[in-house]
Amino acid sequence: MALKKQEQRPVAEKGEHIIARHLIEDDSIKEEKNLVIDGVDVSGRWNTFILSRVDSEFDRSFFREVKDTVVGSRINRCWQCGMCTASCTVTPLYRRFNPRAFIYMMQLGNLKELKKYIDVAWRCVGCYKCSQRCPKQVNPAEMMEALGLVIKKYFPEEVQSKLKVDEDVKKIYDDMILGHGRLDLAKLHTSAMQKTGRTKELLGKIERDAIFKMAKDGRAFSILRLGKPHNWNSSKEAMGNYLKNLNTIENSEA
Partner 1 sequence: MAENILVVGGGPAGLNAATMLSELGVNVALVERDSFIGGNPKKFKYKFLFPDMQPADNVIGELIKKTESGGNIKVYYSSEVSDFKENGKKFDATIKSAEGSETKTFDSVIVATGFEHFDPARDAKYSYQLFDDVIDIKDLERMMGENNFVRPSNGQPPKNVAFILCVGSRDRHVGNQYCSRVCCTVSVKQAIELREHFPDCEVYIFYMDIRTYGFFEDLYWQAMEEHDVQIVKGRIAEITSGPDNTVVCKGEDTLLRGPFEIPFDMVVLASGMEGGSQSPEISKKLGIELDEHGFLKPENITLSPFKSNKAGIFLAGACTGPKAISDSITEGAAAAMNAYTYAVKNR
In the complex, which residues of this chain contact partner 1 (CB under 8 A)?
53-58, 60, 63, 67, 76-77, 79-80, 100-101, 104-105, 107-108, 110, 113, 136
Closest of 186, 74, 182 to residue 130, by C-alpha: 74
User: What is the DSSP-derived secondary structure letter of residue 116?
Assistant: G
CB 83 within 8 A of CB 130: yes
Spatial distance between the Cα atoms of 16 and 23, rounded to a whole number of angstroms: 12
Residue number, 104 or 122, with CB nearest to partner 1: 104
Burial of 79 (0-12, 13-18, 19+ CB in 10 A): exposed
Query: In this structure, what are the phi and psi dihedrals at residue 227, rounded to the nearest 5 degrees?
Result: 70, -160
Q: Closest approach of Cβ 76 to partner 1, in Å?
A: 5
**Closer residue to partner 1 in complex, CB, 76/161:** 76
As measured in angstroms, the least distance from the Cβ of 109 to partner 1 is: 10
CA triple 53-55-61, angle to 5 deg = 140
From CA 150, how far away is CA 86, in angstroms rounded?
Answer: 24
**Rounded CA gap, 121 and 98, in Å?**
8
Minimum distance between the CB of residue 147 and partner 1, rounded to whole angstroms?
15
For residue 50, the surrounding DSSP H or E stretch is strand 49-50
Q: Which is nearer to partner 1, 107 or 191 (CB)?
A: 107
Nearer to partner 1, 55 or 237 (CB): 55
CB of 166: closest distance to partner 1 in angstroms?
32
**What is the Cα–Cα distance from 54 to 209, expressed in whole angstroms?**
57
Nearer to partner 1, 83 or 172 (CB): 83
Compute the least distance from the CB of residue 54 to partner 1, in Å: 5
For partner 1, which is the closer residue by CB, 53 or 244?
53
CB of 149 to partner 1, least distance (A): 20
Residue 254: beta bridge partners?
none
Minimum distance between the CB of residue 28 and partner 1, rounded to whole angstroms?
A: 12
User: With respect to partner 1, which residue has the nearer C-beta, 34 or 56?
Assistant: 56
Considering just the CA atoms, what is the radius of gyration of the chain in Å?
Answer: 25
Cα separation, 174 vs 239, in Å, equals 10
